[in-house]
Structures are given as C-alpha cells and as structure tokens.
Amino acid sequence: MSLFTLAKAQDTTKVKIIEEKTKKRIMLSAENVTDKSHDVFFMVNATGFRRSASRPMIKTIPAKTKIHLITLIPLANVESKYDYRLIVQDKTTNIGIRKDHNPIKLKLPEELLVFTRKNHIPSQELIAQLKVEKITYEEVDFDETSVHRELLNNHFIAKNINKDSVKLPIVSFKKDIHLEVKTIDAVRKLLN
C-alpha cells in the first residue's frame, strides 16, 4: 500500500487537520487551536479506499477542541491516495430578530380592484365591460382568501358591515370601497 497526501488549506493556524494512521485505517480530525469557534468546510477526494469520501462537510469546531471528521479504510493491494480541502472561517454570529408586537397596517392599493364571484352574472358583466373599455383593473375572487380579501374583511369590520349582506361586484379605487357597482358608468365616475 502506498499513500500520498496533499492538503489544500486556507488557514492552518486556526484549525489543523490531524491524521491518525493505524494498520487498517486513517482517521482525519479537525483541531481548533484558537479561543474562538470556527466554521470549516472540509472535503476529501480519495481513491483506493473502501468508500468514496468526496462528500463535503461543513462543521463548527468549538474553541480548543478536536472533532473527528472521517475515517478512511484502504483497499488491499490497491494504491491508495487522498487529498483534502479545508476552508476555515470565523464563526458567524446569529442575527437576532425582534418581533414587533404592533401589527402592520395594510392598506388597499390605489389601483382599481374588482371583487367578483365565479358564475355571478353582474360581476361577469362588469368585467366584460372593463375589458371592452380597456380599463386596467385587478380582479379578486370574493370567495378565495387573499391579502386584498383580508383587507376588505377588515374594512367591513371597521364599518360594522355584515359581509353576508353585501352584494357584488365590489370596487375599490384609491383605497375607497364602493359596494354593488354594476355598470361601467359607475366605474367611470369613480375614476374621474
């Protein structure tokens, strides 16, 4: 058995790779010699060993500790060689995110929103008229959950409107909500 080792390392003064060779195996460990934790990227490219070791590893090595990385078992009567790549970085600090207890107040957009319902004839007629007139709008299904739908529900609650008694189509323009807008003329009045 012949053995060839090549190390490509970024900074071996912080983390060192320790090779422990016995008769039938080679154990590779990382030893942090500093007082700070370090993140390491470690990858071994090996041929002539029992298993392919070319899977990369990313590990955190605490200060002044040694961690086992991989064990290589050479095949009998085969030339065995390996090399490894080690990249050492300082341990990154976690970013603390403080949750704000004040809810974000969302507002309806300035553009024209039309709340409709599938198979609702007045809604579909208004949409058809908007298309013919080439008026830019966004259609929102009244029965499906969406951000716009939640904003509409919040408006109903604020104005003490029973949402079950509301008739469609509903139009929102410049953050104002208009109930039961059925004609293109009513939409034109809103736009002007």
Greater model confidence, 119 or 95: 119
Quote the CA–CA distance of 49 and 57 in Å, as a whole number: 18
- Collapsing DSSP states into helix, strand and coil, what is residue 105? coil
Quote the CA–CA distance of 6 and 82 in Å, as a whole number: 7
The single-letter code of the amino acid at 54 is S
Domain coordinates in residue numbering, the chain: 3-90, 113-191
The DSSP secondary-structure symbol of 98 reads P
Tell me the average pLDDT of the chain: 80
Which pLDDT belongs to residue 93? 54
- CATH classification of 113-191 is 3.90.1260.10, yes or no? no
Mean pLDDT for the stretch of residues 87-107: 61
Which pLDDT belongs to residue 5? 46
The angle subtended at Cα 33 by Cα 31 and Cα 35, nearest 5°, is: 125
Quote the CA–CA distance of 190 and 142 in Å, as a whole number: 20
For residue 101, pLDDT beyond 60: no
Q: Which range has the top average pLDDT, 37-46, 102-111, 148-157, 171-180?
A: 37-46
- In CATH terms, the fold of domain 3-90 is Immunoglobulin-like (2.60.40)
